[in-house]
Each structure stands twice: as C-alpha cells, then as structure tokens.
Amino acid sequence: MVVVKRLLFRVLLLLSLLVIVAEVWGATTRRKKSTTTTPKKRIRKSTTRTTVKSTTTSPKTESPIYQFCRNYNRIKKKVHDTAQSEDFIIGTRDFITEIFDDRDRQHGSFYQRGRKQLKFHFESFYKVEYDRAVEACLYRKLHLLALDTADEIDDFYFYWRGEIVGYEDREFLWTSAAPCSKSDPLNKATNSCSSVTWCPNNVETRLNYTLNLSNFTRPYCIIFRTTGKKFEPMDCSFKSIFSCESACSRPILPPKNECQKDVNGN
C-alpha cells in the first residue's frame, strides 16, 4: 500500500514538472516571435499650394477720340453687328422705288452741292432723331454730314431754304461731330470747350465760340444751325433733317510723276 502511494506521488510530481516546463518553454517561444508588424509607409500629401497671382487689370483708358465719339461709334457698331447684306441701300434710286421701299429706311434724294468741289449728298425728306440719322447714312454706305472744312461751313447750300414739296425747315442739320477734341478737351470747371471732333474721320475743328454743355447730359449730339452758321449741342432725341456723304471728305491727289499724258497731250 505504501509502495502504491509513493508511486502515485512520483507520477503527480512528474506531471507537475512537465506542466511547469511546458509553460516556461511556451513563454520563451512567444518572446522570440515578433509581435509587431511593419507599419505601412504613409504617403505624405503635398501641402505645397500653387499660388495664382492676381491678374486684376485696371480699366483700359479710353483714347480721347473714342471718348468724344462714343455715342456715334456705339450706333455704328450696332448697325455693323446686326445688319444683313440686304439691309443696305447703295446708289441712287428713282423716286417711286425710294418711296415704296418696304424697309424701315429714311427716304430722301441725292443732290450735288459745293462751290469749289461738287459732291453728292443724300438729303432726308423728314426730320428724325440723331440715332436714326446715323443709321440711315450707314445703311446707304455713307456717313452723317461732316463739315470739317471752312469751305463747307461757308457753303451757301446749307443756308438755302427751298420750297420743295416734302422738305421740312432746313434751319437745323444733324452732324457727325462730337463736342471737344484732343487738343481742346472738356473744361470740367465750366463744362465747355471750343472745338469738335468729326467722328467718321477724327478730324478736329477749332471754333471761335464756346460750346456750353451744362444744359445737356450725355450722350452729346451736335447740330448745325444754318441761320447762325454755328454748331450747337442738342438733345439727341431732337428731330431734324440730315445729310449723308461719302466717307472720303478729303480726296488725296496722286503725285505729278504718276500722271501720264494721253494722246491729246492732256
């Protein structure tokens, strides 16, 4: 009986030792085994910002000529941007064709005028506002009257008041002039100047009198008063007759060496 107890005791002791050894061995193995994983490499986002320089542009400074002729050029651009080829009327037409044209065009006739140099002008039958006068000339491939020479201003043609049927009073004529000029800009203190700029050709005309713009607001329109031979500011909604002429107001003669005599020696 004693032998059995001793044997049992030894077996239990052996089992205990085995358990202890197993635990020690397991702990050692776990320490040797790596318990960490290689962290993924973080991709660092670029924090560099693309700097866009401010490209704020200051308003373009209008040229003096454009400032003076802003209204005329506005009307001209509108016609060129919206008109179709069939909208234009070119050359002279007989009276019947002129009157019964179903297009909304101002009616009139062509006349010769001038003492030193005869020129053809289209003359309106009726009074219209400034905008309509400019448009009517442009639709005929012409431009509104430009009295940019002393000869034209003194031409008796503009002071003749005929009794032709259908004509209105000729005391006022719309012109293509704008008040003031590059050499004689607007005097802001008095709101006046003593010159005009002719918008179709940018010619300046100095006056021996003053244009007072105080009683008018932009856009300024210039009318020619035949009774006093003077240009005057006028409200653009005023109705007046008008005259159109070709764009070339100052013909350029060729040099003498370019002229050749014909068989008759002329």
Tell me yes or no: is domain 64-80+104-245 CATH 3.10.100.10. yes
- Report the pLDDT value the prediction gives residue 77, as an integer from 0 to 100: 94
**Can you give the residue ranges of every domain in the chain?**
64-80+104-245
Tens digits of pLDDT across the chain (266 residues): 555 566 666 766 666 666 665 665 665 555 554 445 555 555 454 444 433 343 333 344 445 455 789 999 999 999 999 989 888 988 777 778 877 877 777 888 887 766 555 677 888 888 999 999 999 999 999 999 998 887 777 775 655 544 444 444 678 999 999 999 999 999 999 999 999 999 999 899 999 999 999 988 888 999 998 888 899 999 999 999 999 988 654 545 555 565 565 655 55
Strands 221-225, 230-234: pairing kind: antiparallel
> Strands across the sheet with 203-212, in order?
177-179, 192-198, 203-212
Show the 3-state SS of the chain: CHHHHHHHHHHHHHHHHHHHHHHHHHHHHHHHCCCCCCCCCCCCCCCCCCCCCCCCCCCCCCCHHHHHCHHHHHHHHHHHHHCCHHHCCCCCCCHHHHHCCCCCCCCEEEEEECCCCCEEEEEECCCECHHHHHHHHHCCCCEECCCCCHHHHCCHHHHCCCCCCCCCCCCEEECCEEECCCCCCCECCCCEEEEEEECCCCEEEEEEEEEECCCCCCCCEEEEECCCCEEEEECCCCCEEEEEECCCCCCCCCCHHHCCCCCCCC
